[in-house]
Structure 1
Amino acid sequence: MALRMKISYVDAISETQWRFRRRWPKRVREIRGEDAYQKHIKARDGAAFQREYQFHLRNFDAIVEDTLRRNPEVDTRSATQKFIDAQRLAEHYVAGAQGLDPDDSWTRGVVGHSLAARGEDPDVVAAVLNPDREPPKPSLVDMRDTYANDKGLVDDRKAMVRIDRTFGRLKEALEKPLEDVTIESIDRQTARSFMDHLLGLKKANGQPLALKSCQREVIIVAAAYNHAVRELEIPSERNHFERLPWPKEQVSSLDKNVPLPDSVVDAVQKTLEGGRSKDLPDMWRVLKGTGMRLGEACGLRVSDVDLKGETPSILITSNEINGIKNSNSDRYVPIASESLRESLGARVEGRKGDEPLFLSYGRDGGPTAASAALMKAVKKNTDDKRMKVHGLRHRASDKLRDAGAPVEVRHGYLGHSAQSVAESTYGGRAARLREFARWGVKAGL
């Protein structure tokens, strides 16, 4: 029996590539503006692997030490948060002055000068001496942090990466630190400058960002602005980031995704079955038989597959891997074909419910790795650049429509509509699954 050992900070990003990835300590992340140290590992085993692995361990420690040495003090609080913290600490000091009236100005003078003499933070001393001083006006840092904290996003790594990237680009557009820009100063020109900056950005391949990607980033800032205006009581008559004059998207038919034809789907299946991966052939079957998103498939657990119920089904729900877009995407989909039921039955047999259904891809970065591997198989079987893995969703939608399925079925199947719509039409989950399965069989999914 082969012995498998998990090596700290090493994971597989594809079937042929390994990666050393170790997350930076919090202070280092704040200084460097990146989440982790990550490098490809060229060697696969033996002494060469150990040398490379030990090098990355030492290099990580050296970078951490050097970063902290060069930045001995890092305070990422906004001016508003510093003011609030100073006020709280000042009141604590004044209240602790035994035998003195905390409301007396003389008491505050004694406490304040005592704190200054022992080197207390000048902001705290100022708060003791002048408790009625005007607070600083909230900045864009306050806008970002208030939104992230109140919406519960600070512990969601992926969400924070998006927010930090978006506000980083806003900083680039304004050409000044976010803490130097007050929320009150935001005007239409600020919003237009941000839009123009996004439209001028290039991806790694030299192509401009997609129009929808630019619009999504503006939507994040617009949502944060609305939240800050409400929660921080900022005077504002309108949200300047809304209803911007976006250009019309010029996308040729060659750039659009198209449904994958059955001939390509079958050819890709054969290619995957002839490969080394045991996960990819079954993943392809799940994608073509359910129309689910690739991120949703990578996030599946063994317990999400129900083969014993009245209608065999798969539960798609949010977890740390799943790229669930919204509550509408949280759903059950039927397993309509006998072949898919058989392959899933063999895959889940004897396994624990909390295990990833697809072991190689049920991890952080799994959807990206799966996309690369599946696209390699797609490109091997077609020269049409419009054909992507996502085309399986278009294929499922087209097959359901061609079979005559109502729009409620198509949208419910693919997670495009609220469950309340399907429930009002087809009743509870059992009835809904029966109806969806009937159309899935009729559509040949």
Structure 2
Amino acid sequence: MKTIILKYVTKTKTGSFEYRRQVPVTLRERLGRYEFKKVLGLTETEAIKAWPSYNDWVERQITNARAPGQRATTIETIRTAMDDWREAMTRLRALGIDPTAPVYRQEEGPLIYDPDGMVRDAIIDDIARKYPLDTDGHPDVTSRVDAMMIAQLGAGGKAKRPQPSFVDASRLYVEMKVAGEIDERRKRNRVDRVVRFVRNALGKDPKLSELTRSDAREVVREMLDADLAPSTVDRNCNDIRAIIEFGIREFELEQQAVNHFRNIDIKGLKDVAKAPRDERNPFTEIQLRETRAYILKHAGPDLKLIWRLLEATGLRVSEATGLQVQDVVINCELPHLIIRFNDIRRLKNEASRRKVPLVGDALSAVKEALDAAADTRVGKHPLFEKYGRKGGGDAASAALMKNLRKVVVDPKVTVHSLRHNMQDRMIRAGVDAHDRCLILGHAVTGEANRYGSDEARLVATTKAMKLSMAGKPT
């Protein structure tokens, strides 16, 4: 009997039938996933039965994402009550009214205060005539703002501002915690994604003070129903939890709001939490050798040099693409790179500011980059012309991933895995944790972070780098 072939379905080592389909590269940001993945059953019969409905759902997701004019909602495009309030206050000030004080009137003579409210009533009537409220039962933005203006005047400057919502907290979170970060775009996308899940699950933008445990469970259910893996749901809940915690603190709602996403249960999530190291796998020796060969044969000139630098130093992609000519120091006894804030990119954290030794192929790659640079007389000129710009790190990462996937299909092996490989090499070479942190740009805690000159540290890390890179390509 001939076995039925189901498209995108393979039999796993454990015997189950799994549907795996990569999302087109251009749609990954919009859909918020790299691939569609689902176990259809433990037998061929179960898989055949489950395949049509799931494959149809996947097709709809891809079709909808490709639809022209479709733009995902972002926190910037959502209008909140706080936005209406701010606009109302701005309009009042434009009319010469201080919204936080009793209403005064300035005529040709002295300042007049109207204790009986006659002037206040006149201004309210005037605003009502200038901004007539919508009467069709569906108030628009203008009418909502009008209502707030009138309420403020009617209360003599004592009307309370609206309670901050989840979107308000998300915006402030992005402004204070995300903007300017090395991976700002990715983090903004994550915030937008969880905002969409919260609004879809609850049918509104909830006020922080009104969120309940039941609401939290509903959001989790919405994400699971969208066929997200429990681990992805858990990661999204971490983002939501961080936003709410931040909002409660910054809006001073400690006595009014509770973060109900703390300790939320997620069906299917293992009790033992995964450590960050489990999220990415290092390259195997064969994978690394074959990927390097492919990139050095097919990638563009800058990309080849960037790959060699990443592999030989453990730099983050944006740290490499953000290098300027002035960051390269090679005419000395200890050649190195200076990783610092500059006009091209920010750094992940303070610990990322460091000097990275140039040894072996890293030194060769940097020298080739200097030889190819358009202008080495200007210190602030990018070392890598094509990617030395805002967003250049993302562009280089995407290009490298495109090449990498021609060789390695394991989704846990990415360009970032090169940092894991560097960590493993240093551990095997016996490099201590302190020097490993200095090389990779991880935080060094305790007394070890307080002592040692830059020169002494560079001597130590150069020795560590030479030891760990022994036998690597030169």
Quick check: TM above 0.5? yes
Write the mapping of 1:334-349 to structure 2, written as runs, cut at 5 A: 334-337=357-360, 339-349=361-371
Structure 1 CA distance for aligned equivalents of residues 424 and 77 of structure 2: 54
Corresponding position of 1:417: 443
Deviation digits for residues 199-230 of structure 1 (CA, Å, limit 9, x no counterpart): 4445xxxxx4572x444433333233223323
Write the mapping of 1:151-170 to structure 2, written as runs, cut at 5 A: 151=177, 153=179, 159-170=187-198
C-alpha displacement at 1:400, in angstroms? 0.7
Write the mapping of 1:178-327 to structure 2, written as runs, cut at 5 A: 178=205, 181-202=206-227, 208-209=228-229, 211=231, 213-234=232-253, 235-236=255-256, 238-246=258-266, 247-248=269-270, 257-275=280-298, 277-317=300-340, 324-327=347-350
Matched to 1:243, the amino acid is N
Change (3 A) 1:376 1:428: same
Corresponding position of 1:86: 88
Does 1:435 find its partner at 2:469?
no
C-alpha displacement at 1:436, in angstroms? 0.9
Change (3 A) 1:134 1:271: closer
Structure 2 CA distance for aligned equivalents of residues 239 and 171 of structure 1: 17
SS at match of 2:301: coil
Deviation digits for residues 167-197 of structure 1 (CA, Å, limit 9, x no counterpart): 12221222x121xx22211122222332333
Deviation digits for residues 85-139 of structure 1 (CA, Å, limit 9, x no counterpart): 4356447334454253155412211222233233373432332233234443333
SS at match of 2:356: strand
C-alpha displacement at 1:276, in angstroms? 5.6
Change (3 A) 1:364 1:162: farther
Structure 2 CA distance for aligned equivalents of residues 148 and 368 of structure 1: 19
Corresponding position of 1:107: 119
Change (3 A) 1:152 1:102: farther
Structure 2 CA distance for aligned equivalents of residues 421 and 326 of structure 1: 19
Check whether the contact 1:87–1:128 (CA below 8 A) recurs between aligned residues: no
SS at match of 1:136: coil
Structure 1 CA distance for aligned equivalents of residues 78 and 411 of structure 2: 45
Change (3 A) 1:238 1:103: same
Structure 2 CA distance for aligned equivalents of residues 385 and 151 of structure 1: 28
Aligned residues: 364
SS at match of 1:289: helix
Corresponding position of 1:41: none
What are structure 1's unaligned runs of at least 5 residues?
Answer: 1-18, 20-32, 35-62, 68-73, 203-207
Structure 2 CA distance for aligned equivalents of residues 184 and 85 of structure 1: 23
Structure 2 CA distance for aligned equivalents of residues 318 and 196 of structure 1: 42
Change (3 A) 1:187 1:134: same
Change (3 A) 1:118 1:236: closer
C-alpha displacement at 1:241, in angstroms? 1.9
Corresponding position of 1:407: 433
Matched to 1:307, the amino acid is I
Does 1:117 find its partner at 2:129?
yes
Structure 2 CA distance for aligned equivalents of residues 158 and 389 of structure 1: 15
Normalising by structure 2, what TM-score? 0.65
SS at match of 1:314: strand
Root-mean-square deviation (CA, aligned residues, Å) is 3.8
Q: 2:164 aligns with which of 133, 138, 151?
A: 138
Matched to 1:173, the amino acid is A
Corresponding position of 2:204: 177
What are structure 2's unaligned runs of at least 5 residues?
Answer: 1-25, 32-67, 98-102, 133-145
Matched to 2:113, the amino acid is D
Corresponding position of 1:27: none
Structure 2 CA distance for aligned equivalents of residues 183 and 319 of structure 1: 37
Structure 2 CA distance for aligned equivalents of residues 379 and 360 of structure 1: 22
SS at match of 1:332: strand
Structure 1 CA distance for aligned equivalents of residues 402 and 427 of structure 2: 29
C-alpha displacement at 1:393, in angstroms? 1.7
Identity over aligned residues, as a percent? 27
Check whether the contact 2:291–2:408 (CA below 8 A) recurs between aligned residues: no
Q: 1:359 aligns with which of 385, 393, 396?
A: 385
Corresponding position of 2:51: none
Change (3 A) 1:209 1:313: farther
C-alpha displacement at 1:441, in angstroms? 0.3
